[in-house]
Chains A and B, each alone.
Chain A
Amino acid sequence: KAGVTQTPRYLIKTRGQQVTLSCSPISGHRSVSWYQQTPGQGLQFLFEYFSETQRNKGNFPGRFSGRQFSNSRSEMNVSTLELGDSALYLCASSDGTGVFNSPLHFGNGTRLTVT
């Protein structure tokens, strides 16, 4: 079974631009979550989608948004990029059932650098 696939692996953008990151979950998984990882703040939860609906959202500004398609693939968008948005963005999928006892399976991440 293929794992979680994130594209692209690396991105370099300029401040003020916008960016879209993509995530394909493990086949059969209906839940997709996004996390931001920085040296200063560690791993922080952005949002989770289940069956095309946002189920939970972290404490991030509205510049961060996401969506999920009918095939469970998900995209994350960051508008008006700031230098502080430079981070590793990790996508994770799970079957979405059982909730607290479902492990999340992560992709390789997209490393975003904002200059």
Chain B
Amino acid sequence: AQKITQTQPGMFVQEKEAVTLDCTYDTSDQSYGLFWYKQPSSGEMIFLIYQGSYDEQNATEGRYSLNFQKARKSANLVISASQLGDSAMYFCAMREAGRTTGTASKLTFGTGTRLQVTL
């Protein structure tokens, strides 16, 4: 069964510093996608970055990059130059191709990491 583990319930980082949020996953599928979302206190889930299981290069989107280590089944999010507005919950999530299990359309989330950016 697919599973996402985020072991850091909360993290603090100083403004302008970089921070790494950890995510490990478990799947028996060869084809899958890994996603990171940001959820501010307003509740909206904001898509940040995507990494496909067949992508050889780590994904980057502005200040966000994904440190993908397939053999270790990890997909850590790196936020560079943290800003006060980065304070939020961050969720790692996965979608499997699931051609045989019918799970293709489902996104499985981790429990999230609450990031606080301080002055």
Contact B107 A99 (CB under 8 A): no
Contact B47 A109 (CB under 8 A): no
Contact A99 B95 (CB under 8 A): yes
| Number of chain B residues close to chain A: CB under 8 A | 28
Residue of B nearest to A41 (CB): B111
Measured CA separation A56–B106 after assembly (Å): 7
Contact A101 B107 (CB under 8 A): no
Known: A33-B107, A45-B107, A48-B106. A99 touches B47 (CB 8 A): no
Closest beta carbon of chain B to A17's beta carbon, Å = 23
Closest beta carbon of chain B to A2's beta carbon, Å = 14
What total of A-B pairs shows CB separation below 8 Å?
68
Question: Contact residues of B with A, CB < 8 Å?
Answer: 31-33, 35, 37, 42-47, 50, 52, 91, 95-98, 102-109, 111-112
Q: What are 14 A-to-B residue pairs whose CB atoms are below 8 Å?
A: A33-B107, A45-B106, A50-B105, A55-B105, A88-B43, A92-B45, A99-B97, A100-B96, A100-B104, A102-B33, A103-B50, A104-B47, A108-B42, A108-B43
Question: Contact residues of A with B, CB < 8 Å?
Answer: 31, 33, 35, 42-43, 45, 48, 50, 55-56, 58, 88, 90, 92, 99-109, 111
